[in-house]
Structure formats: C-alpha cells, structure tokens
Structure 1
Amino acid sequence: MDPSSPAATTGIDDFVHVGEGDPISGENSENISENEGGNEGNDGNSFHERKVLPPEFSRSTVKLTCDSVAEGGECDVYLVGTAHVSTVVFLELCSGRIAVLTPQNLKVPTIGEMVDMWKKNHNPFGILYSWFLAKVASKLEVLPGAEFRVAYEEATKYGAKVILGDRPVQITLRRTWAKMPLWHKTKLLYSLMFQAVFLPSPETLTKTLKEMDDIDMLTLVIQEMSKQFPTLMETLVHERDQYMSATLLRTAREHNSVVAVVGKGHLPGIQKYWKQPVEVKQLLTIPSQKETVPVRKILATIGVTVAGVAIISGLYLSSRK
C-alpha cells in the first residue's frame, strides 16, 4: 500500500473483540461470544457498589465516568486496575499486537531476520524499534505485555468482553516515519542501534523504573528519545492517548462497567482527552512524505550507520575482554 495514502479502511469502529472460546478475530469483528452468567452480579445494586474502590486499588487506579445506554444510565471506567470484576476489559493493544496475549519465549530478532522483514517492506523504524524494545526486555528478563495477558485471562475467567482498543500499530509506525525529517530518521536509526548495544545494566534499568513510579518502561524510553526526536512523543504517546480515550469512551457508553489496562504513561493523556472532541480520522491518516532523496541514498546512509555501530560495538566488546 502507498505510504502516502490515507488508511481509509481503518476507523474507530475497528475494535478487535475477543470472546472466550472464540478464534481471535481480525478488525471489524462484530460478533462476540460471551459466557452466559459471566455478568452475574451486574444488577442495579452491584452497579452502585462498584462505584466505590477499595483503598488498595484507588492509589493506582483512575476512575472516569460517562453516560451510557446500558442499565443504570452511567458507566464507571477504571484505568489500570486488573483485579476488578467487570463486564468489559479494554486493553492497550491492537490486532497487530494480539500475539502478546499468547505466552511465548522472549526472543530478540537477529540481523538476518530484520533484513528479511525489511525485504518484505516492513517499516524501517518499526523493525529497529521492536528490536530495541526486545533488547531492553531481554536485559530486564521480562516478557513484554505480561499485564495484558493477566487481564485477558481474568476477563475470560469472568466471562467479560475483551476489547483491543489501541490504534493499529502499523499506522502508528507509519505516521511516525512519515512525519519525521530525513536527518532525524537517519539519526534515530543510529541512536536505536547504538543505545541497544550499550544498554545500562539490569540493576540500573530496574532502579530507574522504580524511581519513575508514575510511568511505564516504554513511555520512559520514548520520553528520553523525544528529547532529540519530538515526533516520537507526539505519535507514540499523545496521539495514542487521544485515540484510546475516544475508543474507550465509545465502549463505555455501551456498558456500565469497564476496566482499561494501559501503561502508566498513558493515564494522564487519557484523562486529559476524556469526553473531549478527538479527530479520529485524522489520527488514522498517513501524511504524505515530502522527501525527494533517492532510495539508494537513504539505504547507503543506513548501511554506513549499521557499519559504524558494528565497528564501535566490536571495539567496545574487545576492550572488555
């Protein structure tokens, strides 16, 4: 597909609904199989009881409300809390990242695998960004998306509907790449490779995350990189905050209780845009790229970048032997 063409087939209606026992469906799925009896306790009295959060949850949970067509006329939305029994669980995922819900071994892509992805026209930023995050996760010995798997398992246990409400990841990556000037693209690719080679120790990373109590690992990485590349914060965080706030509000208006599991870094943004007008179609459009630099020149630049990182990392590793 032409990178400059708008994503006309993807919209706010393109939630992915996952029902227990159903095959994982693609976007535009409408039919959801829910366990009968999974909504037990959702009568009027239980609805009012859910409005009061226990103290141990209120410290790490943000509560939002909106009008709803569901019984009771109002929906309580709990951001982050996962131990709450709800009729709907909203996840910071899209169909492109649905594999996160399946337990898997942590694997960092090899250079050969990344080259194969590039040959298949995968976004260069997406390839290196995924590799960088896998390197960080490997360093910390954690499986990405563990909180989403737990939320999914709990939701299916209680017969709740699961909604993957994040913007499609490929649109996010393509918007990031399209809005970034050429010099920033080259510099970013080099930065991702360099930082992945010289990551801090697991102890340092863990200490940093504990000190940043109001943010998640991914947002922390994006914030740091955004000091040099402002586009990253705009497309990877702020735009997704707007999109998830809009999709979450639409979901809430059809139910009386929703639990939304998102990274801590998205809490302020989702709160900020709650009930605010959001131009969803604009957030799903891929901007036209203005660069007229030949592809061969860009590839040559990237090749020099890769070679430079390889030489530097080789010298570094040799000096430590």
Structure 2
Amino acid sequence: MYPFLAFSSICHVLFLHYVYRMNESNSQSEEIKAPVTGEKSDVYRIRTKDNREIILVGTAHISQVSKELVHDTIETENPNTVCVELDEGRLKSIQDPNRWKNTDLKDVIRKKQLATLIANLVLGSYQKRMGAQTGVKPGSELKEAVDLANEKNIPIVLADRDIKITLKRTWACTPWYRKFSLLGGLFASIFDKTEISEEELQKIKEKDALNSMMQEFGKTFPEVKQVLIDERDQFLASKIKNAPGNKIVAVIGAGHLRGIASIIEEDKELPSEESISVIPKGTAIWKIIGWTITLAIIASIVLVGYFAGIEKAGQLSLQWAMLTGGGAMLGAIIAGGHPLTVLVALVMAPFTGLTPLIGVGFFTALTQVYVRPPRVSEMETLTDDIWQVKRWWKNRVTRVILCFLCPGIPAIIGKILAIFKIYQAF
C-alpha cells in the first residue's frame, strides 16, 4: 500500500476535500461544548462501569498542536495502554516513510492494483500538501504516540481496521452511480488550491463545524460515511474497550471522537469485528451484462455473415478492430506512450473490448513500465509531480498511470460506434 494515510483512498480524500472546503463557508459555526470540564474539547475522559478510565484524544493529522497534545497527554497520564488509529500496514509506513519508493510498478500492475495505487497516491499527496501548509508531516501525532509509548515501554494497541478491508468495503457498498461522484471528487482535489493554517485546523476541531460537515457528507455519500466513519467508530471503540489496563489513552482522528465516546459511554452493543471486516460479494449483474453484450456482438457478426455473406461479416470485424483499436491507440498517444505501447493499444483493444474481465489499460500500462521503467528520482518527486499537470508527461511513473487511464475511454467510444455499425447492418 502506497502512502501512510491511505485507509480509504478515494472516499477519504474526498472527505478531506469536503471538510476543508466547507470550513471556508462555515466559519461562524457554533462552538462545541467541551465534553470534559476544565479540559480541551480534544480530550474526552470516560469512566466505564468496571471503573476503568479511557481518555480519548481527538487529533488533526497535520497539526503541530495535536502532536504536542498527544505527547503531553501520554506523559501526564502515564497510561497502561496506548491505542492508536493505525493498522499493521500503516504502522510500518510511518516507521519507514520511504518504503513506498521501492514499489515495484510491474508487480502492482500484474496484480491489478494500479487503480488503488493511483487513489492512494492522490490521498498521500493531498495530505502532504496540507501538511506542508502547517509545517507538520501527516500522521505526526500518531507517530508521536507510538514512539513515546515505545520509549516508556507502554503496550500499544493498533485499533483500526485493515485499510485494504475498509477500501474494498467502501467500494463494494457504494452504488455505481455514486462512484462517479467519488471519482469526480478525487479528480477535483487535484486542482483544489484550498489553503489551511494551524489556526483554521483548530477552529474546525473546536467548533461544531466538523460534526455538521460529517452529517452533510453523510447525506451526500451515506454508504461512504457508513463504512468510512460509522463502522470504523465501532471497530475502534471495540478495540479501545477491550484494551488491557485500568487507564487507556486512545489517539484518534477528531472526526471519530464523538462517535467513539458515545459508543463507550452508553455501552452500546457492537457488531463483531468479523462482521464488519467481511468484503461484500459483488453482484454478478455487470459481468452478466458484459458477457451478454459480447455474445450479442459475436452472434450478430455471425448472423450477418450467414445472411449477407462472409465479406460483409469481415468488414464489420475490421471496423470493430479499427474503431476500438484506433480509439485505444489515440488514448495511448495522448498519454505519451512509447511506440510499442501505442502498438499494444491498437492490437489488444479489439480483444479486451469483448471481455468485461480486463481492460486495455492493463496491457498498455504494463508495456509502458517495461519499456520506460521509472527512475528512483521520479519516485521521490512523485507526490509533488501529481499536483502539476504539466509534469504528468515528464515523470515516468505518472506517464505509466496515463497509459493506464487514457486508452480506455476512447476504446469504449470506439466500441459503441462499432456496435452501432453492426446494428445498421441488419
């Protein structure tokens, strides 16, 4: 998995984008009532029925104030256990932030994980850009919690759900028509020039703005909020409640503070961790539709050959190859692909157009990464290059991504035109 805070990629960068944009128009929101008398609203103390003390520390992932608050809270409270909003993969990432630079793009493409990498890249870059404005690396407060707990020999509980599960559940639970909005939000974030300061971050956390933003986000993307926020509130709360010791400090994102506090305080019944960690099986309807279209195309050409002659069927087959292959070839050229990549687009698109299992972008991206492998320096500048469109064609990594994305759309257009030509033949 590429960068550290990539726990739900497309949907999370969209949520961040949504929060920061909404903050600009909601600067007059009512203040949050501090849940703990005499303490910052970022810290929430809970006394459980079995007389254990749970201290929730709500943070912003790019805030120096949050980093200092985490340090001071752990130092002052000296808890039996520290819980952090991390999973195994993200813990490794914050301990070795340069690990992703050794990513083997060939392996990523072969495993059909390039789309995930793209989304994670945008999220990591977005967090990095926001962090640059506040002078704090994304997730510094979580790293501070882990480092300080290790230094003081305090047991650590990784309380978050596996990022891969969260991503897959989010995508599987989101209706197809809302997926376009998610992708649109991801694309819009690339061109977003919103700036945020440390002071503005604290305003978001200290006011009711964050809660109202989350509610509005839930109205727009209810399935995303359910998986990204509500389910993770339940998962995190379960891990925190079951953490060993009489005094627990839990470092969590500010967006989870209210939900987790409510669950623990009211002792709400929680679903099992297994039940919210299962990947829903996708409906077979789209594969059925895809194969039905494929069979209809082939059957139509065969019927044309039977009634109008082999020559006419050959013409339709050639038109299919030229329209789908030509469209993909045009996309590969726009992407700045190597001549061999362009040739692969031309040859493979007529075949991939007949199957719903794989797209032409898989072959063009794989070809491009073999003939123009990225340099180490380009991996190092990738998170900066992604925000400048003019660099997309200069960095070999982003060019591989372009070769993955660009051939598909014109190939689909060519496929539609070819189907229309076949229809006209009857």
TM-score category of the 2 structures, normalised to the smaller one = 0.5 to 0.7
Q: Which of 94, 100, 108 is the equivalent residue of 1:117?
A: 108
Q: How far did residue 183 of structure 1 move?
A: 2.7
Q: How far did residue 180 of structure 1 move?
A: 1.3
Tell me how far apart the structure 1 counterparts of residues 100 and 193 of structure 2 sit (CA, whole Å). Answer: 19
**Closer/same/farther in 2, CA of residues 200 and 107 from structure 1, 3 Å limit:** farther
Q: How far did residue 145 of structure 1 move?
A: 1.4
Instruction: Map Cα deviations across residues 166-189 of structure 1 (whole Å, 9 max, x no partner).
Output: 111111111111111223224422
Instruction: Map Cα deviations across residues 1-42 of structure 1 (whole Å, 9 max, x no partner).
Output: xxxxxxxxxxxxxxxxxxxxxxxxxxxxxxxxxxxxxxxxxx
**Closer/same/farther in 2, CA of residues 180 and 205 from structure 1, 3 Å limit:** farther
Q: How far did residue 266 of structure 1 move?
A: 0.5
Q: How far did residue 159 of structure 1 move?
A: 1.5
Match status 1:278 vs 2:255: no
Q: How far did residue 259 of structure 1 move?
A: 0.4
Match status 1:260 vs 2:250: yes
**Closer/same/farther in 2, CA of residues 226 and 277 from structure 1, 3 Å limit:** closer
Letter of the 1:213 counterpart? K
Tell me how far apart the structure 1 counterparts of residues 49 and 93 of structure 2 sit (CA, whole Å). Answer: 32
- Check conservation: 1:87, 1:255, Cα contact below 8 A: yes
Q: Which residue of 1 aligns with 2:86?
A: 93
Tell me how far apart the structure 1 counterparts of residues 193 and 246 of structure 2 sit (CA, whole Å). Answer: 45
Q: How is 1:228-239 mapped onto 2 (pairs within 5 angstroms)?
A: 228-239=220-231
Computing the radius of gyration from Cα coordinates, the structure with the larger value is 2
Tell me how far apart the structure 1 counterparts of residues 284 and 360 of structure 2 sit (CA, whole Å). Answer: 15
Instruction: Map Cα deviations across residues 270-309 of structure 1 (whole Å, 9 max, x no partner).
Output: 0121121111232112212115324855976999xxxxxx
Tell me how far apart the structure 1 counterparts of residues 156 and 180 of structure 2 sit (CA, whole Å). Answer: 39
Tell me how far apart the structure 1 counterparts of residues 361 and 179 of structure 2 sit (CA, whole Å). Answer: 9
Q: Which of 189, 194, 197 is the equivalent residue of 2:190?
A: 197
Q: Which residue of 1 aligns with 2:241?
A: 249
Tell me how far apart the structure 2 counterparts of residues 263 and 176 of structure 1 sit (CA, whole Å). Answer: 19
Q: Which residue of 1 aligns with 2:6?
A: none
Tell me how far apart the structure 2 counterparts of residues 286 and 219 of structure 1 sit (CA, whole Å). Answer: 28
Q: Please, which runs of 5 or more residues in structure 2 have no aligned partner?
A: 1-35, 58-72, 291-354, 363-385, 391-426
Q: Which residue of 2 aligns with 1:175?
A: 169
Q: How far did residue 65 of structure 1 move?
A: 2.2
Match status 1:148 vs 2:138: no
Q: Please, which runs of 5 or more residues in structure 1 have no aligned partner?
A: 1-52, 69-73, 304-309, 315-321
Task: Tell me which moved more, 223-232 or 180-189.
Answer: 223-232
Q: Which residue of 1 aligns with 2:48?
A: 66
Q: SS of 2:48's equivalent?
A: strand
Instruction: Map Cα deviations across residues 151-209 of structure 1 (whole Å, 9 max, x no partner).
Output: 112112221101101111111111111111223224422431x22321224x3476753
- Check conservation: 2:122, 2:190, Cα contact below 8 A: no
TM-score normalized by the length of structure 1: 0.62
Letter of the 2:257 counterpart? L
What CA RMSD, in Å, does the superposition of the two structures yield over aligned residues? 4.1
Tell me how far apart the structure 2 counterparts of residues 282 and 155 of structure 1 sit (CA, whole Å). Answer: 30
- Check conservation: 1:94, 1:168, Cα contact below 8 A: yes
- Check conservation: 1:94, 1:169, Cα contact below 8 A: yes
Q: Which residue of 2 aligns with 1:75?
A: 52
Tell me how far apart the structure 1 counterparts of residues 122 and 261 of structure 2 sit (CA, whole Å). Answer: 29
Q: How is 1:2-151 mapped onto 2 (pairs within 5 angstroms)?
A: 55=38, 57-68=39-50, 74-80=51-57, 81-83=73-75, 84-102=77-95, 104=97, 113=105, 117-122=108-113, 124=115, 126-139=116-129, 140-141=131-132, 142-151=136-145
- Check conservation: 1:186, 1:301, Cα contact below 8 A: no
- Check conservation: 1:100, 1:144, Cα contact below 8 A: no
Letter of the 2:247 counterpart? S
Q: Which residue of 1 aligns with 2:311?
A: none
- Check conservation: 2:55, 2:250, Cα contact below 8 A: yes
Tell me how far apart the structure 2 counterparts of residues 109 and 269 of structure 1 sit (CA, whole Å). Answer: 37
Q: Which of 166, 175, 179 is the equivalent residue of 1:185?
A: 179
